[in-house]
Structure formats: C-alpha cells, structure tokens
Structure 1
C-alpha cells in the first residue's frame, strides 16, 4: 500500500494520513501521542523542527523503554528488586557509594566479577537482582539463575550431548548472576561443569554471585580443594567482594513489625 501526497489536507484527513503512515512505518508511539503533541505544539507555537523533534524523541524514548523491559524479562529474574528500594540504613555493612558505583555497570563492561557474601536475609539476592536489572537497563545482556538450577541444567545437557551448546549460551551474556551458591554440596561432576561455565566467561564477561558461605567455607560446596581454589580464583580476580554481614534484615523487620502490632494492640 502507498500513501498519496496531497497539499492542503483538512485536519481530519491529515490526522488519518499520519495514523496510516505510522502503521506502515511501525511508529506506535508517534501514532498514539501525535494528537496530544500536535495540540501542545500549536498551543505553544512550536516550530516545525521542534514539533518533529518532540515526536521522534518520544518514539526513541519509548523504544528504549521497551528494549529495557525485554532485556529484564530475558534475564529471568524471580522478582523485581531495585537499588532505590534497598534499605541501606538497615544494612550498615553495605556502603551505598560502592553500590551506586557498581550500578553504573562499568565492571560489567570490563568483564569483572562480583561476589556478595553474607548470611541469609542480609540483602545479597536483592543487590544481585537490582544490579543485574541496572545492567539490563544499560543495554547489556543479563541472565539470572540459582546455582542448583544451573548445575542441574548442565548435568542434563551433558547427558543429552548438548553441553557445549549450553555452556556457549551462558558464555554469551554480558552478566551471569548466580544466586544461592553455597547452599548445596556439589559432587565432582557438578563442580567441574560449573567450573567450565566460569572458565568460558573468564576475563571476557562478568559473573556475579551471591553466597551464604565465606570463601573459606566453599569446600562444603566444592569438595575437591584444588577445584574449589580454582573457582574462588575465577570469581575474585580483579573483581569486587561485598560482605553483607550476619544480621538478617528480614528477621529484624519481622520482629519490628510484631513489636509494633503488639504495641498498637
């Protein structure tokens, strides 16, 4: 279908022509916002160039927003978490300046690792997801997974003779977020498969992990001492290590809420 050009179109015909052109050119935001922006342009006596710039910027901004939403969805985060929603006052072990610097995602662009170490309820997963979300919003490819799920997937891939393909898929993303590392004991095969993923990404793409165990306790997860040392080396070399502490924020919040309810009752 082609559009015929006419001079001196009526307002109604011009609006219909814009609508049809936006459909053909796949400009949904301009199509949706054109009437409102046109009225504002006339009211503010905006120049033709200014009006065109407003339309195009609206389309670009909306496309950027939709791309961010697609990347966040592709990352497969289990829930929404943000830096803004993190309670730094309740987590004094965590330096806000460090987290806000990490939120710029320069470490991801440089392919550096990040380790979040601390007890359950201290904000590790929140920060892991929030920083992963920041990376996705910055235009980077991100994937979130739990350590047990990743290892199970690798074992199944090895059994089905598609291990190379699976490792390559995890190797392509700019940031791989591995949560709950240290909650389980891995046999040698599982540990070696996880090590292959880390090796595939070494000094090329970033890995961020959250673990309830300090590095000294990782021998419970990776029972082979040499393999354990090699994995710790892969996850710490040149990267950031953030210790979130031992005091559970969730537990403290629950107790505070119970105390408040009892006082008000």
Structure 2
C-alpha cells in the first residue's frame, strides 16, 4: 500500500484529515483528544516524537479501560463492590494484607481455589465481588453466579441435552465466582451436576466461593456424605481459605444508625 503525503494542508483540512483517519483506523480516543493534546504539545513545546507518544498512550490507556469495563460487565456482578470501599476496621477478623495479596491475582494465574467462609453480613460477598473485579481488571475472564442459579441452569441444560456445552462454557472462564453456596439444600442430581463443573475446572482454572457455613456444615447442602467430601476436596486443595467471622458488621452499622436517629 502506498502512503500518499499531503503537504500544505490548512488547519481545518488537517483536522478533518485526522478525524477521518482516526475513524478509518478505529482510534476514537485520539480523535476526541487530539485537539487538547495538540494544544498542550504546542504550549509545552513538545518534540514531534513526544507528541506522537502522548496521542498513542492516550489511545492505549483508554482502550485498556474499555476492555476492563467489558470484562467486568461480562462477569455479571449483581452490584459494584471494590476493595477500596471494604471496611476492614469493621471486621477485625479479616487481614487486609492477605486480601490485598489476593488482589494481585496470582492465585487466579495458578488456577487455585478461594473459599470465603462466614456468617451473613461479614463481608464475604463484598470480597468475592471485589476480588472478582480485580481479576477482570487484570485481564482475566470472570463469571459470577449464585449457587442455586448455577444448579438450576445445569439441570435445565441436562433436560435440554446441552449439558456438556454448558459445563464447557463455565469451564473456560479464568475465574468462576459462586456466591451463597450452602444457603439451600441441593438434591443429589443438582449436587452431582455442580460437582461436574468443579471437576471440569480442577487445577486448570480458578474457582472462588462464598458460603455462610463451615465445611463441616456442608452436609446440610450436599446430603450425600461422599459427594460432599469430594466437593470440599475440590474447593480446598491447594487453595486459600478466608474466614470472615460470625459478627455481622452490617447489623452493627444498622443498629448504630438507629441509635443515632433515636437519640
């Protein structure tokens, strides 16, 4: 392809040419920001090379941001939660250093599991979503789901003869976040289907779960003792276990607010 040079363009013609070229090359950030960057470059007497670097870096940064937003949206988190908004002071059981180490996502890179165990209101779902968001921002494919929703989807897939396709889809993501595991009893069929998903991901891709019950209490959810033991083994082998405690800081905050209002 021959590049045709255009010399002696007027300012208006040059601006139009840049906009057209950016549309053709799909560079929306440069197209929107080049007037401001050009003005700054003139004011600061940048070299041509520095000016070009500013334009390209702006495009790269914005493209990275858009990719992160798409990955976070694809994860289907039910709400926005971040580590920045997590109140570590309200729950002394949780070690901030451990959580921030997990935020580096080495465990996701290695395909290790993560278990967040604690009572309602202790922050385990917040941490599950926040750590999943960190993984998505670092380029990993993440999917969030409730345990009961996942089991219902697997049962429907089995009935519709597309179970293998559904299990493969859940097996491909780098991090699968399963929330509210242990809240409801699962029948044997549902538990076995969930076990198939865990087996598909074992030692290949990471799994993170949040549960309101300790592992010893999971026999209420997985009523078959051998299947329960196998599932616990899948979720704990080589993984990280974070206990968020039993004291609900949400309840404490609500009581504190009510005390302020009543006083």
Normalising by structure 2, what TM-score?
0.98
CA distance, structure 2, for counterparts of residue 63 and residue 55 of structure 1: 12
SS at match of 2:156: helix
Aligned to 1:134: 134
CA distance, structure 2, for counterparts of residue 187 and residue 16 of structure 1: 65
- Asked if 2 retains the 8 angstrom alpha-carbon contact of 1:185 and 1:220, the reply is yes
- CA deviations on 1:91-118 (whole Å, 9 max, x unpaired) are 1000000000000000000000000000
SS at match of 1:100: helix
Aligned to 1:191: 191
Deviation at 1:3, TM superposition (A): 8.8
**Within-5 A mapping of 1:195-234:** 195-234=195-234
- CA deviations on 1:54-76 (whole Å, 9 max, x unpaired) are 00000000000000000000000
Across the aligned residues of Structure 1 and Structure 2, the Cα RMSD in angstroms comes to 1.0
CA distance, structure 2, for counterparts of residue 154 and residue 43 of structure 1: 61
Pairing 1:37–2:44 present? no
Pairing 1:92–2:88 present? no
CA distance, structure 2, for counterparts of residue 72 and residue 3 of structure 1: 39
**Within-5 A mapping of 1:143-222:** 143-222=143-222
- Asked if 2 retains the 8 angstrom alpha-carbon contact of 1:3 and 1:21, the reply is no
Aligned to 2:73: 73
SS at match of 2:90: coil
Misfit runs of 4+, over 4 Å: none
- CA deviations on 1:145-202 (whole Å, 9 max, x unpaired) are 0000000000000000000000000000000000000000011100000000000000
Unaligned runs of 5+ in 1: none
Aligned to 1:237: 237
CA distance, structure 1, for counterparts of residue 12 and residue 159 of structure 2: 64
Normalising by structure 1, what TM-score?
0.97
- Asked if 2 retains the 8 angstrom alpha-carbon contact of 1:22 and 1:28, the reply is yes
- CA deviations on 1:112-138 (whole Å, 9 max, x unpaired) are 000000000000100000000000000
- Asked if 2 retains the 8 angstrom alpha-carbon contact of 1:178 and 1:209, the reply is yes
CA distance, structure 1, for counterparts of residue 255 and residue 182 of structure 2: 27
Pairing 1:261–2:261 present? yes
